[in-house]
């Protein structure tokens, strides 16, 4: 059985950088050992690197450890993909939504309650569940 494909939003990556406990880190470690296929976009990497550099530059080494340990599939989207996604979500989150759609993931994992979580129309658009790290972790572990 193939592992689930999960798209990791920058909020989840950011959370895992700050804390080695919690489900954000659990999901990334599952990606490191192949229990899930962790998918990320070049946009998420750039955004996370920029935010960590500005807020907590001492945590940059932790980001690099994660990027090295987890065998991410990295997705790149076109301007057309982003333009289509921005019809459904705020511009700053359109590259993430577009990447999750292009990657054909089974779930998008995020901590963004304002723009992503609880929006069934976005789940329909990407044809995948949008879940918190805790919900994604539970879902993966109950279906294995």
User: What is the number of other CB atoms lying within 10 angstroms of the CB of residue 13?
Assistant: 28
- Write the pLDDT tens digit of every residue in 11-33: 999 999 988 889 999 999 999 99
Residue 138 CA, chain-centre distance (Å), reads: 16
Report domain extents, the chain.
5-143
pTM of the model: 0.94
* Model pLDDT, residue 38: 97
* Model pLDDT, residue 12: 96
Is 5-143 CATH 3.30.200.20? no
- Mean pLDDT to the nearest integer, 55-77: 94
Are residues 63 and 48 in contact, defined by beta-carbon separation less than 8 angstroms?
A: yes
Give the whole-angstrom CA distance, residue 7 versus residue 107.
Answer: 6
* Model pLDDT, residue 117: 93
């Amino acid at each position: 059985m193939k592992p689930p494909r999960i798209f990791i939003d920058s909020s989840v990556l950011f959370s895992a950088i700050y804390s080695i406990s919690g489900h954000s880190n659990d999901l990334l470690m599952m990606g490191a050992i192949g229990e899930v296929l962790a998918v990320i976009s070049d946009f998420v990497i750039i955004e996370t690197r920029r935010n960590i550099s500005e807020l907590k530059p001492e945590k940059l080494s932790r980001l690099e450890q994660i990027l090295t340990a987890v065998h991410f599939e990295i997705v790149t989207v076109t301007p057309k993909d982003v333009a289509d996604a921005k019809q459904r979500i705020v511009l700053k989150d359109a590259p993430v939504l577009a990447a999750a759609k292009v990657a054909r993931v089974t779930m998008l994992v995020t901590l963004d309650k304002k723009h992503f979580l609880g929006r069934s129309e976005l789940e329909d658009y990407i044809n995948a569940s949008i879940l918190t790290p805790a919900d994604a972790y539970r879902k993966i572990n109950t279906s294995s």
